[in-house]
């Protein structure tokens, strides 16, 4: 097989079948295509991805099941998919934990090796963290306080313990659906509240079916590109090095691009009529923070240990004391 554009006649020996929910044309897919071209070029055409974008292979749990069956080998996943691989990694998605990118970067760097090791224990190799971004609540009636949330038919990503804990702490009973069913459910009014990043709200077209966004982030959602350890171990050492080095490089680029695009996406939605709802008081913000602490404790013993949570919260408190918080 000749790889177009590589200038090499060497046959491709190793194909990595990769799937993601991200649609073609999105920033996520553009960076993933660049990643693919880089490893093809550097390997002389021996290594490359076969990419399935836009959820054609199903939801994240479907993709991970297909990886176990050997039908796929790699995926771009959010924390929801990470739950079944390495539950402790969900500490990064904890409700109301981070207030700024600086805080999340600090914790990701500090605990990176520990979390990568957990992913490997789960049968995968982390090729690079790819942040989804700060997650906001979008509704069709204005929501300011936790009490206001009780009037919303709120969606919850099926099988997501983080969202379940957050809504439990707010005494809310959400409607559990696959992410692929959300747009239709907004259209039919089965639900009238969702949560996601501004960029994802546009990419998934959810913003066309909501009117308000609460300007208090629920969490900063982590994502990653992972490959099954079985497939990774089949690769020669030189190709493993090419794959990991480029993965870290391009996922770092993707995180930076996602942050830029989340800011632009919010402006685009505002121009299209989305109303930003500011919390009315410091008291409400403190109530959300207390909900976060309560939700995180619900997750102890289910996703991560009390020791890990205590270490992360202590590091964050020390970081805030040293940097006086930081901008959102």
Q: Is 124 found in the same domain as 158?
A: no
Which pLDDT does position 3 carry in this prediction?
A: 39
Residue 295 lies in a domain: yes
Together in a domain, 186 and 81? no
Q: What percent of the chain clears pLDDT 70, i.e. is strictly above it?
A: 95
Number of domains into which the chain is organized: 2
pLDDT in tens, 123-169: 999 999 999 999 999 999 999 999 999 999 999 999 899 999 999 99
Shared domain check, 30 and 148: no
Residue 5 lies inside a defined structural domain of this protein: no
Model confidence at 1, pLDDT cuts 50, 70, 90, reads very low
Q: pLDDT at position 5, please?
A: 41
Same domain, 172 and 284: yes
Say whether pLDDT at 40 is over 80. Answer: yes
Give the residue-averaged pLDDT of 300-323.
96
Residues 190 and 288 in one domain: yes
Task: Evaluate whether residue 207 is within a structural domain.
Answer: yes
Interval 84-111 mean pLDDT: 95
Residue 34 lies in a domain: yes
Average pLDDT over residues 245-253: 97
The mean pLDDT value for 198-219 works out to: 95
Tell me what pLDDT residue 279 has. Answer: 78
Give the pLDDT score at 10.
59
Indicate whether 212 and 278 sit together in one domain.
yes
Q: What is the pLDDT of residue 11?
A: 67
> What is the tens place of the pLDDT at every residue in 53-86?
999 999 899 999 999 999 999 999 998 899 999 9
In a domain, 243, yes or no: yes
Structure pTM? 0.87
60 and 197 fall within a common domain: no
CATH of the domain at 303: 3.40.190.170
Same domain, residue pair 269 and 200: yes
Report how far residue 126's alpha carbon sits from residue 176's, in angstroms, rounded to the nearest whole number.
28
The pLDDT score that the predictor gives to residue 314 is: 97
Range of the domain at 251: 14-132+221-263
Q: pLDDT at position 7, please?
A: 40
Same domain, 66 and 107: yes
Report the alpha-carbon distance of residue 61 to residue 66 in Å, rounded: 9
């Amino acid at each position: 097989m000749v790889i177009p554009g590589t200038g090499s006649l060497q046959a491709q020996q190793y194909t990595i079948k990769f799937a993601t929910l991200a649609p073609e044309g999105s920033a996520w897919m553009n960076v993933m295509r660049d990643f693919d071209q880089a490893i093809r070029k550097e390997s002389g055409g021996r290594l490359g991805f076969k990419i399935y974008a836009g959820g054609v292979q199903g939801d994240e749990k479907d993709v991970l099941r297909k990886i176990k069956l050997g039908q796929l080998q790699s995926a771009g996943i959010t924390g929801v998919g990470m739950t079944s691989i390495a539950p402790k990694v969900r500490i990064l998605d904890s409700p109301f934990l981070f207030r700024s990118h600086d805080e999340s970067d600090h914790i990701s760097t500090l605990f990176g090796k520990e979390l990568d090791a957990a992913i490997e224990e789960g049968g995968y190799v982390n090729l690079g963290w790819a942040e989804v971004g700060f997650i906001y609540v979008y509704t069709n009636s204005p929501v300011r306080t936790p009490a206001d949330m009780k009037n919303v038919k709120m969606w919850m990503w099926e099988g997501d313990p983080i969202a379940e804990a957050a809504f439990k702490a707010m005494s809310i009973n959400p409607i559990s659906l696959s992410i692929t069913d959300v747009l239709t459910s907004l259209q039919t009014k089965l639900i009238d509240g969702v949560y996601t990043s501004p960029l994802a709200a546009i990419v998934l077209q959810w913003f066309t079916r909501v009117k308000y966004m609460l300007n208090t982030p629920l969490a900063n959602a982590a994502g990653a590109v992972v490959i099954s350890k079985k497939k990774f171990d089949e690769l020669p050492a030189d190709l493993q090095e090419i794959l990991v080095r480029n993965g870290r490089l391009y996922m770092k680029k993707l995180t930076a691009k996602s942050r830029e695009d989340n800011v632009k996406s919010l402006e685009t939605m505002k121009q299209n009529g989305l109303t930003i709802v500011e919390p009315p008081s410091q008291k409400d913000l403190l109530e959300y923070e207390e909900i976060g602490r309560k939700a995180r404790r619900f997750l102890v013993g289910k996703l991560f240990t009390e020791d890990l949570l205590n270490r992360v919260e202590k590091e964050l408190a020390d970081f805030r004391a040293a940097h006086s918080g930081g901008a959102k």
